[in-house]
Amino acid sequence: MTDAFNPDLDLKISRIIKAPRAAVWSAWTTPSQFEQWWIPAPARCQVEQMDLIPGGAFITRMSENGGEFGPHVSGCFLAIDPMERIVFTNALLGGWRPAEKPFITAIITLRDHADGTDYAAHVMHRTSTERAKHDEMGFYDGWGTAIGQLAGLVERLS
CATH number at residue 52: 3.30.530.20
For residue 135, what pLDDT is reported?
97
For residue 65, what pLDDT is reported?
84
Look at residue 153 and tell me whether its pLDDT is greater than 70. yes
CB 121 within 8 A of CB 143: yes
Look at residue 121 and tell me whether its pLDDT is greater than 60. yes
Residue 34 belongs to a domain: yes
Q: State the residue range of the domain holding 123.
A: 10-157
Query: Which whole number is the average pLDDT over 1-18?
Result: 91
CA distances from residue 69 to 11, 26, 45, 133 in whole angstroms, order as listed: 28, 24, 8, 24
Residue 44 belongs to a domain: yes
- Number of compact structural domains in the chain: 1
Instruction: Outline where the chain has alpha helix (H).
Output: 21-29, 31-34, 128-136, 139-157
Look at residue 113 and tell me whether its pLDDT is greater than 60. yes
For residues 53 and 134, give the distance between their C-alpha atoms in angstroms, rounded to a whole number.
Answer: 27
Cα 45 off chain centre by? 12
Look at residue 3 and tell me whether its pLDDT is greater than 80. no
Average pLDDT, the chain: 96
In which band, very low, low, confident or very high, does the pLDDT at 2 lie, cut at 50, 70 and 90?
low
Query: Which whole number is the average pLDDT over 59-83?
Result: 96
CA distances from residue 93 to 27, 57, 115 in whole angstroms, order as listed: 22, 6, 36
Look at residue 68 and tell me whether its pLDDT is greater than 60. yes
